[in-house]
Amino acid sequence: MSDSYCWGIFREEAHSPGRESDDSEILRLTAKGLEAKGFQVDLKTPDELSGAADDLPRGVFLMCERTEALQALRALEAEGVLHVNTPAGVLNTYRDRMIAQFAESGVPFIASRLVATAGERVEVREPVWVKRSDVHNTQAGDVVYAADEAAAARALAGMAARGMSRAVVQPHVDGDLIKFYGIGPGSPNGEPPWFRWFYHKEQALRKFPFDERALARLVRRAAAALGLEIYGGDCIVTPSGGLVLIDLNAWPSFALFREEAASAISAYLAVRFGRGRR
């Protein structure tokens, strides 16, 4: 195992709907940043993880999400290879696991019901979002707005027809939708060392005032609960200025801050993999 050798793993194309180039570019730029710091980097697809490696890497930085790829990387973990994010952290972003992790850690999160997609009536008295219970949005039908119980039943039936046995039902929350990015576990002042947020563009924006430091603290706490070091997600700012966390993902595309984020990630990884300085 060389101290300067590491792997970067691309996200599965099926998990990057409309974001294939953005996802691959942030990984490539991170690799370039690491190479400038003296690392040797091999970039791989998840399909290239099968089989034994001739030379184990010092560390792996990964965007893949499917269980098959994560299981292969867990075998490398057992050999002492460092991972960012860890396979366990990525698995914790599966919605059914995320709900349980946040509940156990006391992280405020949108009210979420884990339901069967078939065989039971799911009562809906207000508009809701019906979401697949494992990975995040990969295609039409994975995340569906349902204005009433009939619409929710149709969304669940569609998921059942695709072989999904469970789904998550969450209430629709009125407010401004914010997207955020973060790198690192946090700093003594309670904020992540690198953190950016922005308004989602496809909305009637009202710009309700809110505490940006409170957003950073909430996000840091949520990421720590899942074991994530590089992450992104979504939050609603309510008319009263409240913050409702609705999603947290492992290693997003960082599209609006790509150059800045790649520099910050490569510096962070150099420290994590033992060749950089804080």
Tens digits of residue pLDDT in 115-131: 999 988 899 999 999 99
Residue that wins the pLDDT comparison between 23 and 98: 98
- Residue that has been written with the tokens 């809110």 in this structure: 210
- pLDDT, tens only, 215-258: 999 999 999 999 999 999 999 999 999 999 999 999 999 999 99
pLDDT for 278 beyond 50: no
Q: Cis omega (within 30 of 0) on the bond before 85? A: yes
Residue that wins the pLDDT comparison between 189 and 184: 184
Mean pLDDT of 159-171: 96
Alpha carbons 66 and 11: distance in angstroms, whole number: 9
pTM of the model: 0.92
Alpha carbons 146 and 47: distance in angstroms, whole number: 36
Alpha carbons 278 and 273: distance in angstroms, whole number: 12
pLDDT for 145 beyond 50: yes
Alpha carbons 139 and 137: distance in angstroms, whole number: 6
Domains of the chain in start order, with CATH, are 5-85+256-272 (3.40.50), 95-109+173-250 (3.30.470.20), 113-171 (no CATH)
Per-residue confidence (pLDDT) for residue 277, from 0 to 100: 41
The kind and range of the H/E element at 116 are strand 113-116
* Residue 191 pLDDT class (50, 70, 90 cuts): low
Residues forming beta bridges with residue 8, ordered by sequence position: 43, 61
**105 three-state secondary structure:** helix
Q: Token pair of 61, please? A: 């930085």
Mean pLDDT of 84-113: 97
